[in-house]
Amino acid sequence: MKEPHAPVLMNEVLEVFRDKKIRSFFDGTLGAGGHAEAILTAHPEIEIYIGCDRDPDALALAKERLKEWKEKLLLVHGNHSDLRKWMQEAKTECIDGYLVDAGVSSMQLDRPEKGFSFQGEGPLDMRMNPEGKLTAAEIVNRWKEEDLVNILREYGEEPRARAVARAILAARRNKKLETTRDLVEAIRPVARGKKHLHFATLTFQAIRIAVNDELGELQRGIEEGIESLCSGGRISVISFHRLEDRIPKNCFRDEEIKKRKPLGRLTILTKKPLGPSDDEVRKNPRSRSAKLRAAEKS
């Protein structure tokens, strides 16, 4: 395996929790454990650190990396939106710190057998969790034209969604699409993508988001996170594209508005989302589109 995933916006994440006494922390997207290692180092007072990921390979990697803290660590395999279940397992009533670093990791993108990448050839899979039921192959070979158009528009913002959907339908009439290369070749004549992007980027993004219900998960995860924070607890969310970023933006704003009413409970800490420094972008180009939003519960 290549270098593990390089964590993004590390200083900015640490800044959110600086000066806070944290007993319980929920890391909803543990990945290779890069953020976890830095947070556990900066906060020796942490008593329980719940590290959640739906990719068992990521959990195995993080377990090794974080072995120094194994007494405080609860590693859980599944969705971060099941936060309440994980809190019960950890026997904690509320959490002081919450982090979600959305999307796929570079380990996932770099492994052709996961099917996330249009660069190498792999099966049309794209499941972050190998136990998930829906695969990319199911979507491209069985979904109706209208459903394909909807995800290409909504999750990919592909300008030629209809043409791409029709090209997929035409290709599968001849032969079932089995590999990422089959999909790339099927859409090559029509997919456009966006300036500076490979023509297949937006199609792959759309299918990946659908396979993993990424936006639904993020929405539910943040709602559960806000609900489960202790008073004074902080939530931080890193997103990588507009569709993701509007979820914490709207959830935080809605909660802040409620604050003016008797039930209110959230203060936004980042009026504008924080992005990477030029130096970080130079070292890790993947950080280019990262945005961090954070809020504190009253």
What is the DSSP annotation of 145-163?
A: HHHHHHHHHHTT--TTHHH
Please tell me whether residue 273 binds ligand SAM under the rule CB under 6 A. no
Q: In the complex with ligand SAM, which residue's Cβ is closer, 103 or 156?
A: 103
Least separation in angstroms between CB 48 and ligand SAM: 18
Q: In the complex with ligand SAM, which residue's Cβ is closer, 29 or 141?
A: 29
Please tell me whether residue 5 binds ligand SAM under the rule CB under 6 A. yes
Q: In the complex with ligand SAM, which residue's Cβ is closer, 203 or 239?
A: 239
Dist CA 265 CA 282 (whole Å)? 38
Least separation in angstroms between CB 142 and ligand SAM: 24
- Piece of the chain touching ligand SAM by CB under 6 A; list 53-61, 179-187, 229-237, 255-263: 53-61
Least separation in angstroms between CB 79 and ligand SAM: 4
Q: Which two tokens stand for residue 285?
A: 């180009």
- From 52, 152, 202, 222, residue interacting with ligand SAM (rule: CB under 6 A): 52
Dist CA 45 CA 48 (whole Å)? 9
- Piece of the chain touching ligand SAM by CB under 6 A; list 17-25, 31-39, 196-204, 242-250: 31-39
> What are 25's strand-pairing partners?
49, 97
Strands (E), the chain: 24-27, 48-53, 73-77, 95-101, 229-239, 266-268, 291-297
Dist CA 97 CA 85 (whole Å)? 17
Question: Nearest to ligand SAM by Cβ — which residue?
Answer: 31
- Piece of the chain touching ligand SAM by CB under 6 A; list 27-35, 148-156, 160-168, 179-187: 27-35
Angstrom CA distances, 12 to 35, 234, 271, stand at: 11, 13, 14
- From 80, 114, 249, 291, residue interacting with ligand SAM (rule: CB under 6 A): 80
Dist CA 104 CA 136 (whole Å)? 15
Please tell me whether residue 101 binds ligand SAM under the rule CB under 6 A. yes
Please tell me whether residue 55 binds ligand SAM under the rule CB under 6 A. yes
Least separation in angstroms between CB 97 and ligand SAM: 13
Angstrom CA distances, 113 to 6, 53, 110, 140, 172, stand at: 21, 19, 9, 17, 21
Inter-residue contact 202 to 149 (CB < 8 Å): no
Please tell me whether residue 54 binds ligand SAM under the rule CB under 6 A. yes
- From 22, 24, 26, 31, residue interacting with ligand SAM (rule: CB under 6 A): 31
Applying CB under 6 A, the site for ligand SAM has a residue count of: 21
Dist CA 270 CA 254 (whole Å)? 15
> In one letter, which amino acid is 161?
A
Please tell me whether residue 126 binds ligand SAM under the rule CB under 6 A. no
Q: Which of residues 130-189 bind ligand SAM (CB under 6 A)?
A: none
Q: Which of residues 190-219 bind ligand SAM (CB under 6 A)?
A: 217
Q: Write phi, then psi, for 245 (nearest 5 degrees).
A: -60, -30
Where along the sequence are the contacts to ligand SAM (CB under 6 A)? Answer: 5, 7, 28-29, 31-35, 52-55, 58, 79-80, 101, 103, 105, 128, 217
